[in-house]
Amino acid sequence: RIGVDVPAWTLATQWSSPLVRFDNVAQALWALFQMASLEGWSNVMYAAADVVGPDEQPRVDANQYIALFFVVFIVLGSFFMLNLVIGVSIDKFNRMKEEAGGSLLLTDAQKQWLAIQKMLTTTSLTTRWVPPKEAWRKPFYRLTIESPGWDHFMIGVILANVLVLLMTHDGMSGAWVTALSALNVAFTAVYVAEMGAKLAAIGLANYFTYGWNVFDAFIVAVSVAGVVLDYATTQQLTFLPLLRIFRVARIFKLIPKAKGLRTLLSTLLWSLPALVNVGSLLFLFMFMYAVMGMSLFGPIKWGDNINRHANFRNFPNALLVLFRAMTGENWNLLMQDCMVRDTCVLVKADVANATLLVGGANTTVSLAAGDYLDPSDDKALIRALPADLLEDQCAVHPFLAIAYFCTYLVLCAYLLLQLVIAIVLDNIQSQYAMEEAVIRSDHVYAFVETWEGLDPWGEGYIPVKHLTTLLMGVPPPLGVKGLDHPAQRVQQIVMTAAMPNRANRVHFLETLHALTRCVAGAELPEETEYRVHDKLVARLPRDEVPPKYNAGHYYAAMYVQTAIRGFLARRKLVPLWQAVLEEEEEEARLAAEEAAAAHVAGLAHAPTSLGRAKSKRMARGVTLSRAQREELLASLLGNPSLAHSPTTSIRPSPPPKVMPARHTISGAEWQRGLEGSPAPAPR
């Protein structure tokens, strides 16, 4: 009570329905679609909870239990049905892709062989550094190239450098800044020392032929530039923090050393062609919608979400708005701002005390530039004002904004963007499925490692005769390392795999493809085979005339050559053994005569011609029995299989070993000499 009479007064108020509501089926579907995207669904739920009844003013939390409807719809409509629609669409796309690629009707073995060939398209050689000849460079080579501890040390330095960079914060003391600066100089010195040591180890020309070395050189140059600028100027240069960030990029060197990271990187590389195709299609849709958006919503009035940061006034801004909408960030509010139909006629110039005929009566009007008029409430004034003073910034029709944003969200956000994720996941699944295949990535990696040992310069060729060394150094299934009877297995592999012989050399990819085909090869449809072969052929040697012979022909020729050489070597020994047999017969005759004479004369211990014959035979180094000699002579004349078999080596068998006259060997040792095995040390 203040003792003052307050006159009666009336406050004119009104309330209206929210823009997103359930007044009819169309508006209800529109509201549910926005809720299914999980953008602003809680605001719709709160507005529904305040509803009292038709034509009644809303009251806070008048109908709280209606929230159950929204929760159930989010679970069923968004979490289940929307993702189900997306999954079905992606599955249909994958089936169409398989039908187009011919893989839908392939067997498991054919799919596995197709995946192996795709893996071969990304397999390549790296250069193995050859040890330097200069004595002063050899210690650097052993340290930086041959020592496995050097890589571990540098990884530790990189991780320590990252930790030091994390110690930077606002309000650092002078001592802290000095300590961090000193550590920065120390790390940079280590990087420079590493680069210098590698340059000394492999030389300037070889250093820049390896991609990671080029990356290291760039990081070192940036680090040195950062240190110089830190001490050369006291000004705060805006790009200095960027220079420091480049040092952290050295952590990417962990990728070649970690199998899991290498698998993910391979997956990314395999996904790139498909991602480029989908990305191109996505950009095409964004381009189309950006052009349409500039025409439909370019001049509309700015609101809370359509503003100077996000609008359709030009092409770059339109693309940015569409990218933002594709991620789902307030796309529904952007759509609502593009539906503006009230207070959207802009006054472009000042109107001071102008007398205008408004509604049939002269009216004095004063307007400021930037004021907005309502096309419904101010219709008469808008008609009275000159047209060049006004700019219509109203939406053409609210339905156009609804159709524009909803179709864009379905096509780009729910289909194409999800397709990118599906491609990556599909390749990851394929990559891990390959780890359970007959030929895995570690098998190919072991083959590459062994090949690089025989081809240190990475030329892609090795002599055909080195195939034996290659296959004996590669574990199964591509090689025979650790298996019994490796020589026979090598011979079988070489004769089976058709590796083209190019001037007595074999190519890396041709050899690897031939070996994998022997293990996991399967017949593929011509279309599918040609599609993979196009990528492989691009990395193969280009020949006007294909090679006429393969490695199997080379091994067969060496087998025949070895057999002939062994036979000729044995033929040279035949006269020798015939002479030995004749001497034995002579010895037997002399022995009988001398035995009879000794018995008569009683001179059993006197020197005889038999003793001289034995001494002569001993001088030749032969002490075989008669049976041994006859057996050996028969084998020499009729059994050429005693020659050194070419299955044990592609080198021609050496001639039989003839020991010096002063040595005496047994018959077994002669047999080993004829077969090509080394004779024991002379006794």
Domain CATH for 167: 1.20.120.350
- The residue with greater pLDDT, 625 or 287, is 287
For residue 19, being part of any structural domain is answered with no
Separation between Cα atoms, residue 96 and residue 104, nearest integer Å? 9
pLDDT given at position 662 = 34
For residue 117, being part of any structural domain is answered with no
Please determine, for residue 609, whether its predicted confidence score (pLDDT) is greater than 60.
no
Element (H, E) at 352: strand 351-358
pLDDT band at 356 (very low <50, low <70, confident <90, very high): confident
Stretch among 26-35, 301-310, 320-329, 355-364 having the lowest mean pLDDT = 355-364
Domain boundary among the residues 257, 284, 306 is at 257
pLDDT given at position 257 = 62
For residue 603, being part of any structural domain is answered with no
For residue 467, being part of any structural domain is answered with yes
* Domain with 463 in it: 441-552
Mean pLDDT value across residues 126-147: 84
Hey, which of 273-282, 293-302, 434-443 has the most confident mean pLDDT?
293-302
Mean pLDDT value across residues 541-554: 82
- Looking at the fold, whether 416 and 497 belong to one and the same domain comes out as no
pLDDT digits (tens, 9 = 90+) for 507-518: 988 898 889 888
Burial of 22 (0-12, 13-18, 19+ CB in 10 A): middle
Please determine, for residue 492, whether its predicted confidence score (pLDDT) is greater than 60.
yes
Mean pLDDT value across residues 435-456: 83
- Looking at the fold, whether 323 and 265 belong to one and the same domain comes out as yes
Please determine, for residue 591, whether its predicted confidence score (pLDDT) is greater than 60.
yes
- Looking at the fold, whether 179 and 322 belong to one and the same domain comes out as no
pLDDT band at 651 (very low <50, low <70, confident <90, very high): very low
pLDDT given at position 377 = 84
pLDDT band at 639 (very low <50, low <70, confident <90, very high): very low
Mean pLDDT value across residues 542-548: 78
- The residue with greater pLDDT, 133 or 333, is 333
pLDDT digits (tens, 9 = 90+) for 53-110: 888 888 888 888 999 999 999 999 889 888 888 888 778 777 776 666 555 556 777 7
- Looking at the fold, whether 302 and 419 belong to one and the same domain comes out as yes
pLDDT given at position 335 = 94
pLDDT given at position 665 = 33
Please determine, for residue 294, whether its predicted confidence score (pLDDT) is greater than 90.
yes
- The residue with greater pLDDT, 48 or 362, is 48
pLDDT digits (tens, 9 = 90+) for 381-420: 888 888 888 899 999 999 999 999 999 999 998 888 888 8
pLDDT given at position 614 = 52
pLDDT given at position 122 = 74
The answer to whether 358 and 381 are in contact (CB under 8 A) is: yes
Please determine, for residue 640, whether its predicted confidence score (pLDDT) is greater than 50.
no
- Looking at the fold, whether 314 and 408 belong to one and the same domain comes out as yes
pLDDT given at position 661 = 35
pLDDT band at 256 (very low <50, low <70, confident <90, very high): low
Please determine, for residue 634, whether its predicted confidence score (pLDDT) is greater than 70.
no
Please determine, for residue 311, whether its predicted confidence score (pLDDT) is greater than 90.
yes
Distances (CA, A) of 31 to 10, 41, 42, 402: 36, 9, 12, 11
- Looking at the fold, whether 158 and 189 belong to one and the same domain comes out as yes
Separation between Cα atoms, residue 467 and residue 486, nearest integer Å? 12
Mean pLDDT rounded to a whole number for the chain: 79
Domain boundary among the residues 235, 257, 279 is at 257
Q: Residue 366 in 3-state DSSP? A: strand
For residue 617, being part of any structural domain is answered with yes
For residue 535, being part of any structural domain is answered with yes
Please determine, for residue 144, whether its predicted confidence score (pLDDT) is greater than 60.
yes
Split into its structural domains, the chain has a count of 6
CA angle, corner 156, sides to 151 and 157, nearest 5? 95
- Looking at the fold, whether 358 and 293 belong to one and the same domain comes out as no
pLDDT given at position 195 = 92
pLDDT given at position 602 = 61
Domain boundary among the residues 391, 409, 427 is at 391
- Looking at the fold, whether 426 and 335 belong to one and the same domain comes out as yes
pLDDT digits (tens, 9 = 90+) for 200-234: 998 888 888 877 788 888 888 888 888 888 787 76
Separation between Cα atoms, residue 374 and residue 481, nearest integer Å? 86
Please determine, for residue 671, whether its predicted confidence score (pLDDT) is greater than 50.
no
Mean pLDDT value across residues 307-320: 93
Cβ-Cβ contacts under 8 Å for 148 (sequence gap 6 or more): none
Separation between Cα atoms, residue 28 and residue 20, nearest integer Å? 8
Cβ-Cβ contacts under 8 Å for 270 (sequence gap 6 or more): 118, 122, 427, 430, 431
For residue 519, being part of any structural domain is answered with yes
Please determine, for residue 295, whether its predicted confidence score (pLDDT) is greater than 90.
yes
Q: Are strands 505-507 and 461-463 parallel, antiparallel or unpaired?
A: antiparallel
Q: CATH number of the domain at 533, please.
A: 1.10.238.10
Mean pLDDT value across residues 550-568: 87
pLDDT given at position 6 = 64
pLDDT given at position 186 = 92
Stretch among 153-162, 306-315, 548-557, 605-614 having the lowest mean pLDDT = 605-614
The DSSP string of 230-284 is HHH--S--TTHHHHHHHHHGGGGGGGGG-HHHHHHHHHHHHHHHHHHHHHHHHHH
- Looking at the fold, whether 215 and 312 belong to one and the same domain comes out as no
For residue 683, being part of any structural domain is answered with no
- Looking at the fold, whether 147 and 220 belong to one and the same domain comes out as yes
φ and ψ at residue 341, rounded to 5 degrees: -135, 0
Please determine, for residue 255, whether its predicted confidence score (pLDDT) is greater than 90.
no
**Hey, how many other C-beta atoms are within 10 angstroms of the C-beta on 499?**
23
pLDDT band at 681 (very low <50, low <70, confident <90, very high): very low
Mean pLDDT value across residues 250-259: 67
- Looking at the fold, whether 519 and 576 belong to one and the same domain comes out as no
pLDDT given at position 528 = 66
Separation between Cα atoms, residue 184 and residue 541, nearest integer Å? 49
- Looking at the fold, whether 145 and 212 belong to one and the same domain comes out as yes
